[in-house]
Chains A and B, each alone.
Chain A
């Protein structure tokens, strides 16, 4: 079993939908949780960063961490075609080298 599991998708939704992207993990030492967005042929860019459990909101994006279930989520409200990208979760704790999920491909169609 991988330390971080992420469904690769693709996830296809209509414009305006609420998108839910998720990762599960097995390492209890993880304390720092990140979401990256990666457009085709570009490097990943940091989207959200959270520490420990709870929610964090930034515009249309909400990151949620449930450490008791070892489950993290990224919600995108009012999704736009420009949100079409691959979303990678990452987490760290115990080591400064983060562990990445495989990424979920999101397609938002007009």
Chain B
């Protein structure tokens, strides 16, 4: 299985940049696609898609969210962080079976 590693938590100030990383145990990229996706989950709610294929913004998601990376290293950036962004963020790969999620990064206010 492809293991996705995320830092458990990240503390950030409102209005600053947050950078959340996800490292895969093997490449999740093909010749055409980077098959890494990002979700936001707030307490008591279902996950919401933010970024797909590493860098594509999902429908209705604010432009302060962006994604980058290829191969094994990926980043979700939130700039600037707003109060509504306090949540847990998960990466997920769809390159291989079984699809796997990272352990999640809880974004906290500094």
Answer whether A and B are interacting partners.
Answer: no
Chain B contact residues, CB within 8 Å of chain A:
none
